[in-house]
């Protein structure tokens, strides 16, 4: 990276980085702290050519400061020992010849004491340099030197673990670096992709290989919310994972055969089952912890076995940057193999001079890993960070995050919907407790049944909201700007919409969004017929997914309309995400009309979901009928009961389908066991207080403009801007 670029970056560096001397002291201290639990003998030995003795690491990072900072920039600096240039240069050809890497463990002199004296000598000189009037170039090289030292702090622990793992007495390094377990079940996080931008934005330090920032085209994809666990790895092994050539890349299979791989690097089998060597010694395998110390070949074979794939590094980065809250173990457990070869980004040019050897010359034959590990020094990694190793290497803290393709065109296409339905049902039936998202109720039959529900004597929400909307429509209409577009979420039959359209003839366009194609098409046709001057643009898609604005929204003020208390069919966190996404779509000057059912007497609420005529039961069971129709299921509807219960803790009505007896159902070629009385959870309908709604909307970036509450059974309509 050119010097002026480094300088520019540094100028933008954050406060901590500005106080270089303090950072210098802190980072240097971490290296000694990591070496502290080790004896001089531990710090001398080298267990393989790829690993280096701790003593060598401590000296090499010091040599970096001496060579690139003190010698050129500190007037009168006296080199500690001229022989060290040869002993502790790692790979810098421009700086001269060096001791062969596989023989580092044979250098018993200087001893550890003298290496520590070398560090003290260089530290003292660096203090002088950093308190002098040094050129700006010095600061940028110090930042690089510290990032370099942090990389070696990670290497110290990788190399020590490899060394200790050679010992028959299973010594431990010590606690404090365990990767922890994933908190939640695996979820597939949907990402739309498209033309996305990756790479460092130039704010704060980054290695040269993290730029230039550039565009990448990504097809829709899904990323696993957490890393592959030891339990999942064991299932792969038990299914012959290391014995089936069909799962492996050719080079990987050759390695398996040559080196006799049958488990991750540090797993050991014994009478008590599998155990794993880590920094705390030989321990029983924690099945919920992420698998560690697997090669690229193994990661790829596991992904193939699981019917998934590894993410590309652009997919990984885009997910980590845009949805960080959706992922666990992004940077604190294990580095994550990507399917991307470690190459320069478009336009990449290594820096001139010796530091240009830092990254660029390794861009051949290696694969990129993303994230960060439990042994990565705090603050060292970032979402654009590109780590890299050869595909056979295993001694680093490497793990696996899986990816898969999402259907082309997303759920908007018929094929996409079918695939998404299959995916959600198979995954939902495999969960404990079993659950399927309620959006799958709404095929043509389900939408018809919902309309029948709205007429039931027990189902008060539709009548209550319709009455309230009729009353307040003039007030709402007064807020709607001329030629605005009304964008409706979950429009169904678009019945309530008419109340707004009648009161606000100034509306220029209407975009109903609904996942139910049949309901959407019928509603759009009837609105077109009855409002001939209105531009109608129906959108058949899942409104929880961030999507493009309707074409008709261009140049128009936007008014969102989300009636029916359908907001209550989402968990609070999902609801906030949805409202925030709506905020983005409506724009700064947008409005949002939201209908929400309020908490009331329990009996009134439960009977609305358990009507005497059994229409709600038929609506609920239609999910099973749809599974049978579309996924070749063999579920007998009569073996399940409809159940609607009030969950006071979560303030929601829950709908379940409860299996009358123990049974096995088959869906899309997969078998799922139900115990007698076991439930498939099909829907939540949260019931709110006014504060619940205003709180969620506020978190999503909306401001309350007005709200109206109808007479009992109470329903509320909110206007946000
Ligand atoms: N707004 C109407 C209909 C409510 S029924 C009313 O108030 O009476 C809920 C509607 O939302 C259904 O038409 C259903 O197909 C649609 N829906 C549910 N989840 C959806 C999702 N995730 N994306 C798009 N539409 C959805
Ligand atoms: C669409 N949604 C708000 C309805 C509700 O009340 O949760 C769906 C429904 N489920 C059972 N009856 C109606």
Alpha carbon nearest to ligand 1 atom 6, residue: 564
Which atom of ligand 1 is found nearest the CA of 563? Answer: 7
Confirm if 184 and 328 have CB atoms less than 8 A apart. yes
Could you tell me the distance, in angstroms and rounded to a whole number, from the CA of residue 386 to the centre of ligand 2?
A: 47
Which atom of ligand 1 is found nearest the CA of 514? Answer: 25
- Ligand 2, residues 455, 458, 460, 685: which to mutate, most atoms within 8 A of Cβ? 685
Which atom of ligand 2 is found nearest the CA of 461? Answer: 6
Alpha carbon nearest to ligand 2 atom 11, residue: 609
Could you tell me the distance, in angstroms and rounded to a whole number, from the CA of residue 698 to the centre of ligand 1?
A: 23
Confirm if 215 and 197 have CB atoms less than 8 A apart. yes
Alpha carbon nearest to ligand 2 atom 4, residue: 566
Ligand nearest to the CA of 458: 2
- Ligand 1, residues 460, 566, 569: which to mutate, most atoms within 8 A of Cβ? 566
- Give residues with Cβ within 8 angstroms of 484, minimum separation 6: 506, 507, 508, 509, 556, 557, 558, 559
Name beta bridge partners: 513. Answer: 489, 539
For residue 4, what is the enclosing H or E element? helix 3-11
pLDDT at 11: 46
3-state secondary structure of 360: helix
Helices and strands per DSSP (H, E), number in the chain? 21, 26
267 lines ligand 1 (CB under 6 A): no
Could you tell me the distance, in angstroms and rounded to a whole number, from the CA of residue 113 to the centre of ligand 1?
A: 72
Torsion of CA 368, 172, 160, 152, to 10 degrees: 70
Instruction: Give the CB-side neighbour count of residue 173, counting CA atoms within 13 A.
Output: 25
pLDDT at 99: 86
Could you tell me the distance, in angstroms and rounded to a whole number, from the CA of residue 448 to the centre of ligand 1?
A: 12
Instruction: Give the CB-side neighbour count of residue 628, counting CA atoms within 13 A.
Output: 10
Using a 10 angstrom Cβ sphere, with 0-12 exposed, 13-18 middle and 19 or more buried, the burial of residue 113 is: exposed
The pTM of this model reads: 0.62
pLDDT at 600: 98
Tell me the C-alpha distance between 604 and 651, whole Å.
Answer: 14
| Ordered DSSP codes for 595-664 | EEEBP--HHHHHHHTS-TT-HHHHHHHHHHHHHHHHH-----GGGEEEEEEEETTTTEEEEEEEESS-EE
Could you tell me the distance, in angstroms and rounded to a whole number, from the CA of residue 565 to the centre of ligand 1?
A: 10
How much helix, strand and coil, in percent to the nearest 5, is found in the chain? 40, 20, 40
> In sequence order, what E strands does 244-386 have?
267-270, 273-278, 281-284, 335-341, 367-371
Which atom of ligand 2 is found nearest the CA of 565? Answer: 3
Pairing verdict, β 194-198 and 387-389: unpaired
Ligand nearest to the CA of 688: 2
Could you tell me the distance, in angstroms and rounded to a whole number, from the CA of residue 475 to the centre of ligand 1?
A: 25
Which atom of ligand 1 is found nearest the CA of 490? Answer: 11
- What digits encode the pLDDT tens for the residues 371-426? 999 999 999 999 999 999 999 999 999 999 999 998 655 556 677 788 789 888 98
For the chain, report the end-to-end CA distance as a whole number of angstroms. 47
Which atom of ligand 2 is found nearest the CA of 608? Answer: 12
Ligand 2 environment, Cβ below 6 A: 453, 461, 564-566, 568-569, 609, 616, 619, 683, 685
Torsion of CA 572, 573, 576, 582, to 10 degrees: -120
**What is the distance, to the nearest Å, from the Cα of residue 105 to the centroid of all Cα atoms in its chain?**
41
Tell me the C-alpha distance between 91 and 95, whole Å.
Answer: 9
620 lines ligand 1 (CB under 6 A): no
Name beta bridge partners: 663. Answer: 674
Backbone φ and ψ of 74, nearest 5° = -100, 105
Could you tell me the distance, in angstroms and rounded to a whole number, from the CA of residue 449 to the centre of ligand 1?
A: 13
Ligand nearest to the CA of 493: 1
pLDDT at 6: 35
Which pair of structure tokens corresponds to residue 445? 């039959």
Alpha carbon nearest to ligand 2 atom 12, residue: 609
Helix 136-164 vs helix 112-130: angle between axes, to the nearest 10 degrees?
160
294 lines ligand 1 (CB under 6 A): no
pLDDT lower than 50: segments of the chain: 1-17
Could you tell me the distance, in angstroms and rounded to a whole number, from the CA of residue 569 to the centre of ligand 1?
A: 9
pLDDT at 147: 96
- What digits encode the pLDDT tens for the residues 313-346? 999 999 999 888 889 999 999 999 999 999 999 9
pLDDT at 698: 97
121 lines ligand 1 (CB under 6 A): no
């Amino acid at each position: 990276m050119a010097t002026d670029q480094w300088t520019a970056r540094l100028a933008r560096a954050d406060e901590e980085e500005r106080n270089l001397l303090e950072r210098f002291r802190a980072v240097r201290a971490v290296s000694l702290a990591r070496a502290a639990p080790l004896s001089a003998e531990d710090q001398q030995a080298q267990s393989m050519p790829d690993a280096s003795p701790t003593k060598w690491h401590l000296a090499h990072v010091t040599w970096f400061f001496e060579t690139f900072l003190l010698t050129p920039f500190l007037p009168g600096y006296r080199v500690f020992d001229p022989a060290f240039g040869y002993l502790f240069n790692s790979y810098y050809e421009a700086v001269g010849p060096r001791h062969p890497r596989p023989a580092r463990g044979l250098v018993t002199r200087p001893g550890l004491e003298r290496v520590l004296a070398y560090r003290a000598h260089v530290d003292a000189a660096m203090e002088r340099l950093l308190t002098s009037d040094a050129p700006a170039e010095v600061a940028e090289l110090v930042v690089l030197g510290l990032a370099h030292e942090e990389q070696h702090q990670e290497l110290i622990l990788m190399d020590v673990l490899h060394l200790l793992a050679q010992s028959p007495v299973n010594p431990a390094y010590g606690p404090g670096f365990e990767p922890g377990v994933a908190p939640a079940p695996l979820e597939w996080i949907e990402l739309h992709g498209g033309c996305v931008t990756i790479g460092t934005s130039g704010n704060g330090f980054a290695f040269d290989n993290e730029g230039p920032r550039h565009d990448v085209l990504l097809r829709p994809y899904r990323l696993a919310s957490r890393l592959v666990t030891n339990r999942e790895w064991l299932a792969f092994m038990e299914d012959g994972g290391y014995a089936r050539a069909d799962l492996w890349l050719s080079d990987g299979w050759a390695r398996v055969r040559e080196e006799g791989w049958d488990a991750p690097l540090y797993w050991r089998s014994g009478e008590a089952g599998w155990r794993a060597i880590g920094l705390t010694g030989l321990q029983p395998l924690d099945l919920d912890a992420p698998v560690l110390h697997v090669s690229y070949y193994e990661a790829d074979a596991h992904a193939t076995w699981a019917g998934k794939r590894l993410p590309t590094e652009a997919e990984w980065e885009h997910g980590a940057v845009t949805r960080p809250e959706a992922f666990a173990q992004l940077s604190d457990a294990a580095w994550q193999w990507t399917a991307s070869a470690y190459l320069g980004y478009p336009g990449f040019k290594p820096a001139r001079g010796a530091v240009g050897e830092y990254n660029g010359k390794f861009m051949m034959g290696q694969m990129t890993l993303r994230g960060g590990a439990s042994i990565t020094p705090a603050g060292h990694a970032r979402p654009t960070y590109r780590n890299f190793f050869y595909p056979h290497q295993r001694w680093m803290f490497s793990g696996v995050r899986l990816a898969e393709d999402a259907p082309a065109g997303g759920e908007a296409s018929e094929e996409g919907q079918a695939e998404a339905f299959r995916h959600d049902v198979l995954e939902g039936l495999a969960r404990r407790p079993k659950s399927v998202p309620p959006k799958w109720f709404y095929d043509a039959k389900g939408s018809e049944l919902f309309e029948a529900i709205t007429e039931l004597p027990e189902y008060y929400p539709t009548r209550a909201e319709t009455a309230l909307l009729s009353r307040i429509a003039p007030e709402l209409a007064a807020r709607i700007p001329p030629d605005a577009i009304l964008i409706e979420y979950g429009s169904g039959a678009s019945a309530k919409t008419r109340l707004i359209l009648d009161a606000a003839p100034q509306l220029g366009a209407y975009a109903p969004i609904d996942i139910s194609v049949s309901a959407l098409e019928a509603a759009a046709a009837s609105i077109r017929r009855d409002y001939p001057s209105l531009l109608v643009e129906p959108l058949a898609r899942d409104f929880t997914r961030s999507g493009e604005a309707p074409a008709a929204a261009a140049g128009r003020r936007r008014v969102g309309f989300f009636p029916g208390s359908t907001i209550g069919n989402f968990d609070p966190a999902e609801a906030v995400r949805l409202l925030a996404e709506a905020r983005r779509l409506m724009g700064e000057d947008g409005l949002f009309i939201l209908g929400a059912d309020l908490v009331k007497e329990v009996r009134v609420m439960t009977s609305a979901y358990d009507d005497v005529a059994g229409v709600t039961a038929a609506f609920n069971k239609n999910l099973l009928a749809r599974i049978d129709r579309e996924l070749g299921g063999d579920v007998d509807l009569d073996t399940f009961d409809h159940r609607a219960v009030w969950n006071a803790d979560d303030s929601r009505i829950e709908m379940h389908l409860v299996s009358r007896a123990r049974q096995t159902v088959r869906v899309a070629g997969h078998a799922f066991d139900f115990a007698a009385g076991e439930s498939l959870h099909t829907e939540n309908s949260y019931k709110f207080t006014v504060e619940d709604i205003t709180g969620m909307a506020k978190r999503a970036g909306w401001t309350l403009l007005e709200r109206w509450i109808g007479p009992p059974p109470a329903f509320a309509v909110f206007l946000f801007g």
